[in-house]
């Protein structure tokens, strides 16, 4: 059965580029839904660890998919993540989960399972559009999205921003974490180079609001596609955004 997907804005980029915070704010301003796909990989890593399974044991990780009852909110103003009845919104950001999530994410069966899950969530959103961010969104999950963006920044800027978010962490320590995360994830997907049809937004010299405005500018430039492929309500949302 084919799924009817709303207007999709797909955002990819390296760790520390601001994908989540920028995408969430763009969705809020446009009255779109918001989907953080990385949360699913983190939640699965949490579920695997909570089940007492080694995250490096691919076969056991795959077996956990059957019991992985994952739910995520798509309202950018009311974001939450649950596994079963457990709210793991904060738990999945724990450094221990960050350290093991790449091992879970690089299992092909896991990626296939979650990609289908992401597409189902995208199709179910009630908003006229959805901003979807995470690894391989622009090339695998939503390769036909009318707006595909690679959000990036220099390594120095990404390290500085991430260290500011993590109280007590030095820029050097954060830099090492980012390099390890990018190196691990790059074994699965290429998120440093924009694929054909993907617009690069470099936020190295931009502050948060300027980056949000730049992304919204790319979306507005896609209005002809919006008008052709989606209903009038979706077009009006983009036109009326202050």
Interval 177-224: pLDDT, tens: 666 665 655 555 555 566 678 999 999 999 999 999 999 999 988 865
The better pLDDT of the pair 147, 165 is held by 147
What CA–CA distance (Å, rounded) separates 167 from 121? 33
Q: In whole angstroms, how far apart are CA 234 and each of 5, 89, 129, 172, 240?
A: 13, 29, 7, 44, 10
User: Is residue 21 part of an annotated ligand binding site?
Assistant: yes
Determine if residue 168 is labeled as part of a ligand binding site.
no
Closest CA to 116 of 55, 65, 157, 76: 65
Cα separation of 190 and 102, whole Å?
14
Q: What is the CATH number of the domain that holds 23?
A: 3.40.50.300
Picking from 147, 145, 151, 148, the residue whose alpha carbon sits closest to that of residue 122 is: 145
Query: 66: domain range?
Result: 7-225
Quote the pLDDT of residue 1.
42
Q: Is residue 235 part of a domain?
A: no
Indicate whether 233 belongs to any domain.
no
Task: Give the whole-number percent of the chain exceeding pLDDT 90.
Answer: 61
pLDDT tens sequence across 110-158: 999 999 999 999 999 989 899 999 988 999 999 999 999 999 998 888 8
Q: Is 13 annotated as a binding residue?
A: yes
Q: Is residue 209 part of a domain?
A: yes
pLDDT of residue 79: 87
- Is residue 15 annotated as involved in ligand binding? yes
Q: How many domains, the chain?
A: 1
* DSSP secondary structure code for residue 193 in this structure: S
Is 40 part of a structural domain of the chain?
yes
Task: State pTM to two decimals.
Answer: 0.80
Hey, how many other C-beta atoms are within 10 angstroms of the C-beta on 225?
13
Q: Is residue 135 part of a domain?
A: yes
Residue 234: inside a domain: no
134 marked among binding-site residues: no
- 17 has binding-site annotation: yes
Greater confidence (2 vs 59) lies with 59
Calculated CA dihedral for residues 156, 9, 215, 92, nearest 10 degrees:
-40
- The answer to whether 45 is a known ligand-binding residue is no
Pick left, alpha or beta for residue 29 (phi over 0 → left; psi -120 to 50 → alpha; otherwise beta). alpha
> Is 231 part of any domain?
no
In a domain, 114, yes or no: yes
């Amino acid at each position: 059965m084919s799924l009817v997907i709303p207007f999709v804005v797909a955002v990819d980029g390296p760790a520390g580029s601001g994908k989540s915070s920028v995408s969430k704010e763009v969705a809020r301003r446009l009255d779109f839904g918001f989907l953080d796909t990385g949360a699913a990989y983190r939640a699965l890593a949490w579920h695997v660890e909570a089940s007492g399974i080694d995250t490096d044991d691919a076969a056991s990780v795959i077996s956990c998919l059957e019991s992985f009852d994952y739910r995520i909110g798509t309202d950018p103003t009311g974001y939450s993540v649950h596994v079963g009845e457990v709210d793991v919104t904060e738990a999945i950001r724990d450094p221990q989960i960050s350290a093991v999530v790449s091992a879970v994410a690089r299992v092909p069966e896991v990626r296939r399972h979650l990609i289908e899950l992401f597409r189902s969530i995208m199709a179910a959103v009630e908003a006229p559009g959805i901003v979807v961010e995470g690894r391989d969104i622009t090339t695998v999950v939503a390769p036909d999205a009318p707006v595909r963006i690679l959000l990036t920044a220099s390594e120095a800027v990404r390290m500085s921003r991430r260290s500011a978010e993590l109280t007590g962490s030095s820029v050097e320590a954060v830099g090492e974490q980012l390099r390890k995360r990018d190196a691990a994830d790059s074994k699965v997907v290429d998120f440093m180079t924009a694929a054909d049809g993907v617009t690069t937004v470099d936020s190295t010299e931009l502050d948060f609001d300027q980056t949000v405005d730049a992304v919204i500018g790319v979306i507005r430039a896609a209005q002809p596609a919006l008008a052709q492929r989606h209903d009038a309500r979706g077009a009006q949302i983009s036109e009326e955004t202050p």
